[in-house]
Amino acid sequence: MFLPAPTAASRTRRLPNQWDLAALLFVLGALAAFAHGAAGTLAPIDAPEATHLSLAATDLPYYALRTVMRMFAAMAASLLFTFAFATLAAKSRRAGALLIPLLDILQSVPILGFLSFTIAFFMGLFPGQILGLELAAIFAIFTSQAWNMAFVMYQSLTTLPQDLVEATRAYRLTAWQRFWRLEVPFAMPGLVWNMVLSMSGGWFFVVASEAITLGDATWRLPGIGSYVALALEQRDLGAIGLAVLAMGLVILAYDQLIFRPLVAWSGKFRFETTAGANAPDPWVLALLRRTRVLRRAAEGLGAALTAIGSLRLSLRLQPSRRHTRGGSRVAMGRAGDIAFGLAVAALAGLALWHLTVYVAAAVSWAELGEVLVLALFTLLRVAVMIGLASVIWLPAGAWLGRRPALTRLAQPAIQFLAAFPANLLFPPFVVGIVHFGLSPEIWLSPLMVLGTQWYILFNVIAASAALPGDLAEAAGTLRLSGWLWWRRVMWPAILPAYVTGAITASGGAWNAAIVAEVAAWGDTKLAATGLGAYIAQATEAGDFPRIALGVAVMVVFVVVINRLLWRPLAAFAARRATF
């Protein structure tokens, strides 16, 4: 068999072009920057970069590089956690009964509440090395990124369209194939938007994660967060301005290079049966498509991933229907549920007993009553702030999601606002409250929702953008408009995503209360009455029993609210979902 000789045109198509050269320069530059930043993580803990920090503008690019590396490392860990945790919770009834309340607890536990313990743990893993501090900082950022991603993945897995589920059964796909062919693609639009939001959430707590204190020792890891903390400590407004500028440039850079292409790519997974309008590709995707060598490498990687997703692996996380038939098997299943519930209750009771003994040694019952009253004050603030954020951002998100061009323009600005650390707003808030004689009980409250309101906006935008085109066309054919269009079309479509965003926003607001109910600028300090101020003051004093008490009360409040309000609302939203 003779093959035709390659023509000059085919040989030319295999050769690199000028776009390959541009992409190669970018890749080499990224690798060099990564190597430069990674070298600093392997130094001994007594190296100058672990203890010395400068406010010089020339050091900001290096600090920005180190911060971004930590945030993307935390993002990789968050994705692994999301796929494993949310999938297990959605597919296993027993695991879900334990993991979803555990997720409520994890998202409500304040970072400052357990940062001291995690620092000691990671420093014990790598004694005398900066790597231990780096891992502690990455873990702290991870705790501000992972929970909302896990929630949106769980919500997507529990609201899969039944016709698509039946199609996977008809084609006899294994659990592994169904996961990669249906479940992950269906969750991808919301997951990508929450990745964007998680990066912004990491910025919100980056100051606490990079300025590390353990006992009498303090380390400031090179990063924008440490730079901001030092600038606030020295009341250097010029340095604060430079940090904000650097943060904005970094957010714009990774939005254009990574998240803008990801959002455009996730649009291909919208659930619809009619052809939708194709938005123009971001310039990074357009550059990739113009390359030759790099495009073929990307196609090869995509083919390899597709082959992995097509493997006929059997991962049965959920009992098949035939295992639930028969009285004996049903009885065995109920007995197993009872045994599992008793085991979980026993472990919870044991943990509660140890916590009670530890706290009771230093805290009286009267103080416990005072802490519960403080929690009610914080609950009132959280409820009011989440209500206001919902009234503002729910219609705004639905409107933006239906206008892709405006969404692309607004995305970098929204990311920057979501990432803006509340610490940088303390000076104007403190000065304004003192100057005008305002009440800290009221005017410190907006600081609680500054970093959490975006959970509602981003989730509603993602759900609105994913509204099936055939559903929108049917509504147009029936001439639905005004309130009827909202009630019959848009509200059922965005309600599951809104509930997911509201759950994470509520938990995040409780968490943010620690930095929002206490604000300082120089020698002027303001504090509002609430549980967040109680935990912040106990943390500053190193009073671990009271830190444990405050965190435990906060966890109980968040879990009870989620059980009584948000979970029933999520179940209602799943029943009303239009797709």
Local confidence pLDDT in tens for the 579 residues of the chain: 444 555 544 555 566 777 777 777 877 888 888 887 877 777 777 766 666 788 888 889 999 999 999 999 999 999 999 999 999 888 887 778 788 878 877 776 666 556 667 777 888 888 878 888 888 888 888 888 888 899 889 888 888 888 888 888 888 888 888 888 888 888 888 888 888 888 877 776 777 778 776 666 777 888 888 888 888 778 788 888 888 888 888 888 888 888 888 888 887 776 655 445 455 667 777 777 777 777 777 767 667 766 666 666 655 554 444 444 445 555 555 666 677 667 767 777 777 787 788 787 788 888 889 999 999 999 999 999 999 999 999 888 888 888 877 877 777 777 777 777 666 676 777 778 877 888 888 888 888 887 778 888 888 887 887 777 667 777 777 777 777 777 777 888 888 889 888 888 888 788 778 778 887 766 777 888 999 888 888 877 778 788 888 888 888 888 888 888 888 888 887 776 655
- Cross-strand bridge partners of residue 526: 519
C-alpha to C-alpha distances, 467 to 11, 52, 285, 401, 471, nearest whole angstrom: 44, 51, 24, 9, 7
Question: What φ, ψ does residue 218 adopt, rounded to 5°?
Answer: -130, 135
pLDDT of residue 320: 41
The tally of CA atoms less than 13 A away on the side-chain side of residue 342 is 6
Reduced to 3 states (helix: H, G, I; strand: E, B; else coil), residue 148 is helix
- Cβ 323 vs Cβ 507: under 8 Å: no
| H helices, E strands: number in the chain | 30, 4
| The residue count for the chain | 579
CA dist 126 and 481 (Å) reads 62
CA dist 447 and 40 (Å) reads 34
Least Cα distance to 141 among 224, 78, 194 occurs for 78
CA dist 406 and 414 (Å) reads 12
- Region of 261 (left: φ > 0; alpha: ψ -120 to 50; beta: rest) is alpha
Question: What φ, ψ does residue 47 adopt, rounded to 5°?
Answer: -70, 155
Token code pair at residue 384: 């009011």
Query: What are the helix (H) ranges across 175-292?
Result: 175-178, 184-204, 206-210, 224-234, 237-254, 260-266, 283-290
Least Cα distance to 310 among 501, 430, 182, 188 occurs for 182
- What CATH number labels 18-271+281-312+337-576? 1.10.3720.10
Reduced to 3 states (helix: H, G, I; strand: E, B; else coil), residue 280 is coil
Distance spanning both ends of the chain, measured CA to CA: 53
Give the global pTM. Answer: 0.76
In the numeric block, the tokens 């939001």 are attached to 197
Provide the 8-state DSSP code for 143.
Answer: T
